[in-house]
Amino acid sequence: GEGSGMKVLVVGATGLLGQHVVLELRRRGVEAIASSRSLGLDLRDQAAVRDAVAAWQPDAIMNCACLGGSVHFVMKHAADVIDANTRMTLNLYDAAVRLKVRPLIVNPLANCSYSEAGELQVEDQWLDGPVHESVTSFGNATRMKYFIAKCYAEQHMMRSINLLAGGLFGPLDHLEDHKLHAIDGLILRVIRAKLANAPSLNIWGTGTPVRECFFVKDFARLLADVLSMDLDLLYPINVSQNFALSVNEIAQTAKRIVGYEGTLEHDLSYRDGASVKAVDNRRFRSLFPGFTFTDFEEAAGETAELYLQAFADQ
């Protein structure tokens, strides 16, 4: 197959993105080693990471591991979030640099790491100012992944590919509210409201903030693609079709797909997170001219269907 003989270590392999990356690599005939804390490797443990990476000798590492969650989660656990995410990346690079043949490291970066300034998310302005205060912990830990990659490139010529993306959603997400990606959380809550015959559903905040929508299977395909491309993407590019919907619009779509008849109420005791900006995806388009994205309705439909199935199986 196209992945002939390549061995890829996927860390964070039980998270939303990691699960899909493992599935996509295996679909292409690539040897994918699935690793995560629940599968027995805690990336915060430096000695354990060194041993595991030395034993596996991967050609590439997909760094899908992160401690994150909703805005409320990352504010409440700010110290844990910045500690775990920075430590995990440092330990990965420390282990990788010890291999005779150093692996390529691919870092998906959450685009909440963008500077608050500017109306448009343009790569050259990514670091021009602080992140939104609601994501101080997660946004800065994400920036740190880039700085770690840059320093390892400078001293050890280690190659990294950094890709900025936001708004991931799709099947196989965590079913705990505070771990869910925003769009999955909404779809799931609409499903729960329908199953409970609830007359109404509470939206946190005003429902007006706009959220980027990026189907996780599309990102997994792209991550598999970059492994065989000779790209110099140490400084990250935006991976995006620049498609965004307000929280209310996403909830309305989910209502329609699931067939929920209740009304949407707004709980204004929750603060709105940052309102997502438009994304400049010209660099992405020039590097990946043929890449296609799944239609949102279709992707949301597939996601809802699989969640409905999960509830039926419970």
pLDDT confidence bin for 4, thresholds 50/70/90: low
pLDDT at 310 (0 to 100): 81
Residues 6+ apart with CB under 8 A from 67: 77, 80, 81, 84, 85, 88
Instruction: Check pLDDT > 90 for residue 302.
Output: yes
What residues form DSSP beta bridges with 11? Answer: 35, 63
Q: What is the pLDDT of residues 99-125, one digit of tens each?
A: 999 999 999 999 999 998 877 899 999
pLDDT at 1 (0 to 100): 45
Structure-token pair, residue 27:
């679909």
What is the residue type of 203? I
205: left (phi over 0), alpha (psi -120 to 50) or beta: left
- Comparing 177 with 254, the larger pLDDT belongs to 254
pLDDT at 27 (0 to 100): 97
Q: What is the pLDDT of residues 185-209, one digit of tens each?
A: 889 999 999 999 999 999 988 999 8
Predicted TM-score of the model (pTM) = 0.92
Selection from 59, 62, 84, 81 nearest residue 11 by Cα? 62
How do strand 278-279 and strand 120-121 relate by DSSP bridges?
Answer: parallel
Decide: 239 and 221 in contact? Cβ < 8 Å: no
Q: Which of 2-6, 128-132, 209-213 has the lowest mean pLDDT?
A: 2-6
pLDDT at 232 (0 to 100): 95
pLDDT at 287 (0 to 100): 96
Q: What is the pLDDT of residues 27-76, one digit of tens each?
A: 999 999 999 999 999 999 999 999 999 999 999 999 999 998 777 889 99
What angle, rounded to 10 degrees, do the helices at 247-258 and 182-195 form?
40
Mean per-residue pLDDT over the chain, rounded: 92
Residues 209-227 have a mean pLDDT of 94
User: In this prediction, what percent of the chain has a pLDDT beyond 70?
Assistant: 96
Residues 6+ apart with CB under 8 A from 249: none
pLDDT at 178 (0 to 100): 60
pLDDT at 242 (0 to 100): 86
pLDDT at 68 (0 to 100): 85
